[in-house]
Amino acid sequence: MEEKLGLPYAAAPVTPRRRRLPKRWYAHVILITAIIITGFPVYYAVVVATQSNTQVFNYQLTPSTYLERNWDLVIHERQLPRYMLNSVIVALVMTTGKAVLSLLAGMAFVFFRIPGKWLIFGFVLITLMMPTEVMAIALFRLVGVELQWGGYDAMIVPFIASATGSFLFRQHFASIPGELSEAAQIDGANPLQFLWYVLIPISWNAIAALFVIQFLYAWNQYLWPLMVIHETTLKPVQLGLRSLRSGTETGDSFGPLMLGAVLASIPPLVVFLALQKQFMSGFALTRDK
Amino acid sequence: MYLVSPPILLLLVALVGGSWSAWRARAQGAAPAVRQRAQLLALLGAVSAAAGALVLLAPLNFCPFELDGDGNANRLNVMLGVFILLGGAFLAHRVVSSLVGRWLRGEALPGATETRTGLFSGPGSTLLALLCLAPTLTILTLFLYYPMFDTFQLSTQLARLGAPRTRFVCMRNFNQLLGDPDYGRTVLISFFLAAFIVMFSLAFSLLIAQMAYRPITGGRFYRALLVWPYALSPVIAGIIFELLFHNTAGVLNHVLDSTFGFKVPWLLDPTIAPWTVVVASTWNILGFCILFYIAGLQNVPNDLLEAAAIDGASAIQRFFRITFPLLSPITFFLVVTTTTYAFFDTYGLIDFLTAGGPVESTTTMMYEVFEVGVVARNLGSAAARSLLLFGIVIGVTILQFRFSRGRVMYGS
């Protein structure tokens, strides 16, 4: 990347440097403004997490001493850890399940001869055009009313297959040379051994891409749990935050709510920042060329 | 009492489909193999069009063409009926004619030839492959295809959540929506929000990415600090922006009040609240767009820009004549993603920020589906609303295919 440095200047060397301002000072100004604008809401939320409501109404822009009390309310009284745990379980089981099912499907699509393969593939692919939200009402009638699910099962099972994932792994496997599976067969490996010992070890990047995309999706889900989860102890964190909205006896509501919001954002932030490259490559893989 | 009896309707559709096929087969530029079989093609076109219409209308008992209500409802019914009729006919005709066309021109059918080597082909390998696919196919059938089918079915019924019995009401749920000014407003709000969210997030992210993609002092630092808000959920965005824009506790109003002496009812005024939602959503999705625009800009070949600069193109000309056209695949991808975000994912944000108010000024189509279906327990109407939302999804997808095949540049 470094060679691309200062392109317009390289192209127009006649322009002498007259200004004392650093090169592209305007870029710095715009970027710093952008960072302040995008960062301020979260900064302020963190600050308010340490404040009482009186302080919030006094617009104090620096941290205060109420963190302990807010923490106590959020962690012990309103059971945020319980909601976080639910979200962690749902997100991990859902993403793992999606990875396993998609790996199997991707392998079947690439390394096997199946009659009517393109039809089956079309059957899977077309579901990309069917967002869950559009059929949420009917899905709710099926899962919540007829099957009477109302816990982890309702949050995980309907979403454990992934058209995105199947497609992603199909694209990834299609780029693997056929010699690899030939060699594996000559060595006497059965398909599952081939998957376990050859495909998975060379697919960690694609798996990580699916993981980060689906983890964010699972963690941030809101509408569906709102429909099916009624048991308080089974709510995921996005839903649990609602319980922080109602104030305490002292009327403190903003502090605890912001503390909850900040805590609930940490897991997806960590996953996203750690796997940002894979996140993007996942989209690159699923974009049809 | 039918306006036109079903067999005659199907005959009419067959006639249209058949003549369309015949016309296409005889048109200039058709392959000779196609020309010689014009009659066969016309027959196939007629049959496929009629079959497509039949598949969609038979489950409805051809009810849109049944005249029983008042004149207004009838007119809407017939319009919807014609729409379904032509839609089904068009789809089936399209699929069949594309397959037959390939066959006649001697092209391979999709997936008919396997070019890969090293496929597993031992005894029972097909069975194993199907077993590998079985979980995915089962889940998709049960929890995606069946609900989709059920949504279609529910939309023609009077169904209440918790009530065991349903009643077939044909197109009445749709009729009520199409004649309802409140629903019209909801649609308008959804499109309004989507348009501005897409426009703002793309414009700002492109501006920021344009500044941040080049190696600049602290570039890595800037990039890291710009993209993360995307990892926050829409719910969290809603919570944080409620704090900022709150009428009395919000810091924004405090600043406005102390410097200019007035407050803006960000969340309480029905003409301002949608803009607040646009701002919060743009903030939430901006990082995602920046991430992809930076990657796209780094792929724009430098020599092109340099050549243009040598030829005397200004920075603005270089941007609009070179960079922006080369970015069009990314722009297109982002338009689709942010549109989807605006229509569906804003639900959580709106629920926390404004709860659809004030006076329903931020009630989107998605928000209303939940309100009608789960809160008001009217499943039939909610299903009809879902289907109209689905229509938008299909529209966006078709656009996606159209554009990605045509004008869009693929740089890499």
Per-residue pLDDT of chain B (412 residues; tens, 9 = 90+): 777 788 888 899 889 988 888 888 887 777 777 777 888 888 888 899 889 888 888 878 788 887 776 666 677 788 888 888 888 889 898 888 888 888 877 776 665 566 777 788 877 888 999 999 999 999 999 999 999 999 998 888 888 888 888 888 888 888 888 888 899 999 999 999 999 999 999 999 999 898 888 777 777 788 888 888 888 999 999 999 988 888 888 888 888 888 888 888 888 888 899 999 999 999 999 999 998 998 888 888 888 888 988 998 888 888 888 888 888 888 888 998 899 899 999 999 999 998 887 888 899 999 999 999 999 999 999 999 999 999 888 888 787 777 766 544 444 3
**Which residue shows structure tokens 């990082």?**
B287
| Whole-number CA gyration radius for chain A | 25
Identity of the residue in B117, B243, B248 whose CB atom sits nearest the CB atom of A182: B117
* B136:A287 CB<8 A: no
* A223:B298 CB<8 A: no
User: What single-letter DSSP state applies at residue B106?
Assistant: T
Judged by a CB distance cut-off of 8 A, whether residue A104 touches chain B is yes
Residues in chain A closer than 8 A to B254 (CB atoms): 59
**Measured between CA atoms, how close is B119 to chain A, in angstroms?**
5
| Portion 237-266 of B in contact with A at CB < 8 A | 239-241, 243-244, 248-249, 251, 254
3-state SS, residue A239: helix
Percent of chain A with pLDDT over 90: 39
Torsion angle of C-alpha atoms B226, B227, B228, B233, degrees rounded to 10: 120
Angle separating helix axes A25-48 and B181-212, nearest 10 degrees: 120
3-state SS, residue B358: coil
Average pLDDT, chain A: 84
Of 3.40.50.620, 1.10.3720.10, 3.30.390.10, 2.60.40.1180, which CATH number belongs to B176-405?
1.10.3720.10
Confidence band, pLDDT 50/70/90 cuts, at residue A4:
very low
Confidence band, pLDDT 50/70/90 cuts, at residue A10:
very low
Please tell me which residue of chain A has the smallest CA distance to B162. Answer: A145
Identity of the residue in A1, A11, A104 whose CB atom sits nearest the CB atom of B310: A11
Contact present, B175 and B78 (Cβ < 8 Å) = no
Beta-carbon contacts below 8 Å between A and B = 312
User: Strands, DSSP E only, in B96-222?
Assistant: 157-158, 167-168
pLDDT in tens, A41-64: 999 889 888 888 777 787 778 888
Residues in chain A closer than 8 A to B397 (CB atoms): 129
Identify the CATH number of the domain in which residue A88 sits: 1.10.3720.10
pLDDT over 60 (residue A69): yes
Please tell me which residue of chain B has the smallest CA distance to A165. Answer: B136
Which of B95, B109, B117, B120 is the best residue to mutate to test the A interface, defined by the most A CB atoms within 10 Å of its own CB?
B120
Contacts of B353 (CB under 8 A, 6+ apart): B238, B241, B242, B245, B267, B276, B277, B280, B362
Predicted pLDDT of residue B410 = 44
**Measured between CA atoms, how close is A52 to chain B, in angstroms?**
12
Could you tell me which residue, A92 or B83, shows the higher pLDDT?
Answer: A92
Strand partners, B378: B160
C-alpha distances in Å from residue B287, one per residue of A73, A287, B294: 32, 19, 10
* A191:B230 CB<8 A: no
Contact present, B341 and B281 (Cβ < 8 Å) = yes
Predicted pLDDT of residue B114 = 65
Phi, then psi, of B378 in degrees rounded to 5: -95, 90
pLDDT in tens, A143-196: 988 899 989 999 999 999 999 999 999 989 988 888 888 899 899 888 899 999
The domain tally of chain A equals 1
Contact present, B89 and B13 (Cβ < 8 Å) = yes
Contacts of B141 (CB under 8 A, 6+ apart): none
Strand partners, B158: B167
Judged by a CB distance cut-off of 8 A, whether residue A90 touches chain B is no
| Portion 171-190 of A in contact with B at CB < 8 A | 174, 178-183, 185, 190
Confidence band, pLDDT 50/70/90 cuts, at residue A288:
very low
Phi, then psi, of B120 in degrees rounded to 5: -70, 130
Please tell me which residue of chain A has the smallest CA distance to B312. Answer: A12
**Measured between CA atoms, how close is B330 to chain A, in angstroms?**
10
**Measured between CA atoms, how close is B256 to chain A, in angstroms?**
12
- Residue A24 within any structural domain of the chain: no
User: Strands, DSSP E only, in B114-165?
Assistant: 157-158
Predicted pLDDT of residue B398 = 81
**Measured between CA atoms, how close is A266 to chain B, in angstroms?**
9
C-beta atoms surrounding B259 within 10 Å: 8
Identity of the residue in B162, B286, B369 whose CB atom sits nearest the CB atom of A137: B369
Predicted pLDDT of residue B113 = 62
pLDDT over 90 (residue A84): yes
Token pair recorded at residue B183? 């629903």
Angle separating helix axes A163-174 and A117-125, nearest 10 degrees: 130
Q: Where are the alpha helices (DSSP H) in B4-121?
A: 6-26, 32-36, 38-57, 71-104
Residues in chain A closer than 8 A to B129 (CB atoms): 108, 112-114, 191
Domain containing A121 equals 80-238+263-286
* A5:B214 CB<8 A: yes
Looking at chain B, the domain(s) classified CATH 1.10.3720.10 span 176-405
Contacts of A264 (CB under 8 A, 6+ apart): A80, A83, A84, A87, A237, A238, A241, B233, B236
Q: ∠ CA B347-B351-B354 to the nearest 5 degrees?
A: 120
Judged by a CB distance cut-off of 8 A, whether residue A133 touches chain B is yes
Predicted pLDDT of residue A12 = 45
Judged by a CB distance cut-off of 8 A, whether residue B409 touches chain A is no
